[in-house]
């Protein structure tokens, strides 16, 4: 048995410019924040799950369905900053902290479990993040979108030990031969597990130049020499999606009606 204790933190804020009040949005009759909390609570490799927010309204709402809430400062610039602050408030009780974004309503619990299991098995892995190998229609759609200049969706390449070499909003690796069927492409899933000291270190780093160009926070870690362990995961036929804008709610509801609920 491992001595490592695992905490899941769900950073959530009400003041999203693209979708104000997003955590309270109803998806098939259940609020977004409760859906994500249910996912976190069902992760077998985690010991505790909390919501981290600066909103008193959201705090009271989350508590109404049984969630533990940690109040954080309104000055947190990113979700990672909020997770780090929540971890500091809770003290030194946890060894691994997993950041589960408050809009990640279609994240299968087993994806989180796979990342945590790798961190438990590999003490040298200070930060870990999941990625999915694309194939078939998913691969062709992703490659076509990138060739058309679409910025949504991030690809990642990693070394033979599983450590990230680069993340990009572009397509990596870029196929010079243009033959989609023979390609391998991993789509990055923007979730992270941290060892407590790595989280504290990362939260103190300044924005990197690559991060500024690509608008990818994880590049800050690479630029400062912090290794990221990429964990290949399997969605087992489930669709990947999150809610960034109001229009995404209908898309997510359609997926849930088609594929069923992840957790009840």
Residues comprising the chain, all counted:
264
- Write out pLDDT tens, residues 70-95: 999 998 888 899 999 999 998 778 99
- Write out pLDDT tens, residues 202-214: 999 999 999 999 9
> Which domains are seen in the chain, by residue range?
6-103+241-264 (3.90.550.10), 108-233 (3.90.550.10)
> What is the Cα–Cα distance from 98 to 115, expressed in whole angstroms?
9
With a pLDDT cut of 90, the percent of the chain lying above it is 80
- Write out pLDDT tens, residues 137-165: 899 899 999 989 998 899 999 999 999 99
**What is the dihedral angle through the alpha carbons of 40, 43, 45, 50, rounded to the nearest 10 degrees?**
20
pLDDT for res 152:
87
* pTM listed for this prediction: 0.94
pLDDT for res 180:
66
């Amino acid at each position: 048995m491992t001595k490592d204790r695992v905490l899941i933190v769900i950073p959530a804020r009400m003041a999203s410019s693209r979708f104000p009040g997003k955590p309270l949005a109803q998806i098939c009759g259940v609020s977004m924040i409760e859906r994500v909390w249910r996912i976190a609570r069902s992760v077998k490799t985690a010991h505790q799950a909390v919501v981290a927010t600066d909103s008193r309204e959201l705090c009271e709402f989350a508590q109404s369905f049984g969630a533990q809430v940690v109040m954080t400062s309104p000055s947190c610039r990113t979700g990672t900053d909020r997770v780090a602050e929540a971890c500091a408030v809770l003290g030194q009780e946890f060894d691994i902290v997993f950041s589960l974004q408050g809009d990640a309503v279609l994240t299968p619990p087993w994806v989180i479990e796979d990342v945590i299991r790798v961190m438990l098995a590999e003490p040298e892995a200070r930060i870990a993040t999941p990625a999915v190998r694309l194939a078939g229609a998913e691969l062709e759609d992703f490659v076509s979108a990138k060739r058309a200049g679409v910025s949504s969706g991030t690809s990642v390449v990693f070394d033979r030990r599983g450590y990230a070499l680069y993340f990009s909003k572009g397509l990596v690796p870029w196929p010079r031969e243009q033959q989609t069927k023979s390609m391998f492409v991993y789509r990055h899933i923007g979730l992270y597990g941290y060892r407590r000291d790595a989280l504290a270190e990362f939260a103190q780093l300044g924005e990197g130049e690559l991060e500024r160009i690509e608008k990818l926070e994880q590049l800050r870690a690479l630029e400062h020499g912090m290794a990221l362990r990429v964990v290949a995961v399997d969605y087992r036929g489930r669709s990947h999606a999150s809610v960034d804008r109001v229009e995404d709610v209908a898309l997510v509801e359609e997926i849930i009606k088609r594929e069923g609920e992840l957790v009840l």
